[in-house]
Chains A and B, each alone.
Chain A
């Protein structure tokens, strides 16, 4: 029997970038980034269990410029995934579906994550931890 040509959903490229789809994609990207973060967290824990020398080697890795960029990225990823995740959980219980609240909560999630990330790193810098 021959295969029928079935209707396909439109390719992602035709959609206009809006707050809704942008944050949906960002939620996935930050989620995948946090998966890599778990790998780093386990690595850090294993090096901590391995004693002072191995911990210092790992700490130096995280304190390198590339390490700091990763930590900054993981801070934003965590905070955004947290705020946007709460937004998703609200939808799951049937709240906040209206256009205005959907947009407002979306902007809140991004801006709150950005502010909290900057505040965290500003605090670290202020306390001389960087």
Chain B
């Protein structure tokens, strides 16, 4: 016998049945971000200056560019997962929630894509 109400069943309420994947993705990306963010933080601090030539030369090195691409990609993914949960928790009106979730998705792909494209341009079009 089911304890769920008929209305709840029709509305498809109850467990979404896909929370575990989200939870795991959040943790795995978090673990990956520990070395990536520390590398980025230290690298910026250790650069003698942050002027154009210094930063550009640093990011033209294949290893720096590769790690920076990973950093932007994993950060965008991790942040997308996190802000999604924030919207799901605090925005209750269905239309506003759907709108914000879609907006976030577009924004993160745009932001992450622009960052990665910029790094590739610096690293691959090195004059």
Contacts and interface: CB of A to CB of B under 8 A. Distances in A.
State the main secondary structure of chain A at its contact with B: helix
Interface-centre pick from A1, A3, A35 (highest chain B CB count, 10 A)? A35
Contacts of B49: 129
Interface residues of A, number: 31
Given A42-B72, A56-B52, A92-B27, A78 B118 contact: no
Contact of B118 (A4, A42, A82, A88): A42
Interface string B95-127: 000000000000000011011011101100000
Given A39-B111, A48-B56, A82 B34 contact: yes
Nearest to B56: A48
Interface residues of B, number: 35
Interface in B1-29: 5-7, 27
A48 B122 contact: yes
A86 B72 CA distance: 20
Contact of B41 (A46, A56, A78, A86): A78
Contacts of A1: 6-7
Interface of A: 1, 3-4, 28, 31-32, 34-35, 38-39, 41-42, 45-46, 48-49, 52, 55-56, 59, 78, 82, 85-86, 88-89, 92, 120, 123-124, 129
11 contacts: A1-B7, A31-B83, A38-B75, A41-B72, A45-B118, A46-B114, A46-B115, A55-B56, A78-B41, A89-B31, A129-B50
Interface of B: 5-7, 27, 30-31, 34, 37-38, 41, 45, 49-52, 55-56, 59, 68, 72, 75-76, 79, 82-83, 86, 111-112, 114-115, 117-119, 121-122
Given A38-B111, A42-B72, A82-B34, 19 more contacts: A28-B82, A32-B82, A32-B86, A35-B83, A38-B72, A38-B76, A38-B112, A42-B111, A42-B118, A45-B68, A48-B59, A48-B118, A48-B122, A49-B119, A55-B56, A56-B52, A59-B52, A124-B45, A129-B50
